């Protein structure tokens, strides 16, 4: 069976039946990462959140495809049992970026996919839209450490649209946007002229591409795919006003967490989970509550965009067929 030019073989890649059927029919599908389940929050809150996010996507006419590697097999779409397995594994599952895929598969391990790995698998099977909380980026003091997330280079070479609440606020947002420009990635903001800052609506950084409706987002994504630009698209959706945490509170906690990370020499893959967990502790749970709220909001907007994109591509196909 061929999906997006990729020959699917049992045992090599597992695609959930509803995801496979939707892709073959050209229906709307939204990819979801799995590190938010394994490393983002404890069990059973992680399982409840994952199911709620998938439900939001389904309720808005789209098929969710949570991506993970289980027992060495990349899975595109998880069953309830597989979701629960991953949730219970928690941090025992390896945080899996693109560089880690071959290793996790080779050892028949369990891997929770980050943004870069999720984009890779989504593109492989032809899922054009991926919803997450926030992407990685250039770490603060990145000019000294060269700590730059592989999410950014993935966006520069993988044609998947990422719907997020922006860049995690523990990172250097200005430098990250500069890096994305260098990578040729179109960065849009939803219903605002200013790039959101994950936990808060504003980062102080303006964007040149404002998108006010799901249809406008779909046209942007479709244009990127039509011209085969070869890059991803980042659409940043501000956290809802009622869930926006105090910017000053988050920033004070972030600065403290960054200092602790430097003092403890927490670097690489361990840095982001440590910082997010510490900021949550320092804000007494406010940052985690905001994180869950923004992920659900992103799922809603992402599903609406996916439906609009599927309709647009169906219409374009019908017109070409009629010529």
Over the stretch 227-269, which tens digit does the pLDDT of each residue have? Answer: 999 999 999 999 998 887 666 687 788 889 988 988 998 877 7
User: What mean pLDDT is predicted for residues 97-116?
Assistant: 97
Q: CB-hemisphere CA count at 13 Å for 264?
A: 14
**How do strand 111-113 and strand 63-70 relate by DSSP bridges?**
antiparallel
Q: How confident is the model at residue 101 (pLDDT cuts 50, 70, 90)?
A: very high
Q: Are 4 and 82 in contact (CB under 8 A)?
A: no
Say how far apart CA 234 and CA 231 lie, in whole Å: 10
- List strand residue ranges (DSSP E) for 200-276, in order: 209-211, 233-236
**How do strand 73-76 and strand 63-70 relate by DSSP bridges?**
antiparallel
CB count in 10 Å sphere of residue 268: 8
CATH number, span 14-321: 3.40.1790.10
Say how far apart CA 42 and CA 277 lie, in whole Å: 11
Rounded mean pLDDT of the chain?
91
Give the pLDDT of residue 164: 97
Q: Are 31 and 160 in contact (CB under 8 A)?
A: yes
95 three-state secondary structure: strand
Cis bond upstream, residue 44 (ω within 30)? yes
Show Cβ contacts of residue 103 under 8 Å, excluding neighbours closer than 6 positions. Answer: 109
Helices (H) and strands (E) in the chain, counts: 13, 13
User: What mean pLDDT is predicted for residues 184-197?
Assistant: 96
Give the pLDDT of residue 2: 57
Asked about 259 being catalytic, the answer comes back as: no
Q: Which of 33, 84, 201, 216 is catalytic?
A: 33
Asked about 168 being catalytic, the answer comes back as: yes
Q: Which of 14, 95, 168, 175 is catalytic?
A: 168
Q: For residue range 34-53, list pLDDT tens digits in order.
A: 999 999 888 999 999 999 99
Look at the pTM and tell me if it is higher than 0.85.
Answer: yes
Give me 57's structure tokens. Answer: 């996507």
């Amino acid at each position: 069976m061929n999906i997006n030019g990729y020959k699917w073989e049992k045992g090599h890649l597992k695609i959930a039946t509803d995801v496979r059927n939707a892709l073959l029919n050209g229906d709307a599908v939204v990819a979801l990462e799995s590190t938010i389940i394994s490393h983002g929050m404890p069990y059973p809150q992680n399982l409840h959140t994952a199911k709620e996010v998938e439900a939001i996507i389904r309720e808005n006419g789209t098929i969710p495809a949570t991506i993970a590697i289980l027992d060495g097999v990349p899975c595109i779409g998880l069953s309830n049992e597989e979701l629960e397995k991953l949730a219970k594994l928690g941090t025992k599952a390896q945080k899996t970026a693109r560089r880690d895929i071959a290793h996790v598969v080779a050892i028949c391990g369990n891997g929770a996919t980050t943004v870069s790995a999720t984009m890779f698998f989504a593109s492989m099977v032809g899922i054009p839209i991926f919803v997450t909380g926030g992407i990685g980026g250039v770490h603060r003091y990145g000019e000294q450490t060269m700590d730059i997330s592989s999410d950014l280079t993935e966006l520069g070479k993988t044609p998947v649209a990422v719907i997020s609440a922006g860049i995690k606020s523990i990172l250097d947002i200005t430098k990250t946007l500069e890096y994305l420009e260098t990578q040729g990635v179109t960065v849009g903001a939803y219903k605002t002229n200013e790039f959101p800052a994950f936990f808060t609506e504003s980062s102080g950084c303006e964007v040149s591409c404002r998108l006010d409706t799901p249809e406008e987002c779909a046209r942007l994504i479709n244009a990127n795919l039509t011209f085969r630009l070869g890059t991803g698209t980042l659409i940043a959706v501000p956290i809802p006003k009622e869930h926006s945490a105090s910017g000053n509170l988050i920033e004070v906690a972030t600065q403290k967490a960054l200092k602790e990370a430097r003092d403890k020499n927490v670097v690489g893959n361990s840095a982001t989970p440590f910082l997010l967990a510490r900021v949550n502790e320092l804000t007494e749970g406010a940052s985690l509550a905001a994180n869950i709220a923004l992920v659900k909001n992103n799922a809603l907007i992402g599903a609406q965009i996916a439906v609009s994109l599927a309709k647009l591509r169906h219409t374009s196909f019908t017109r070409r067929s009629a010529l």
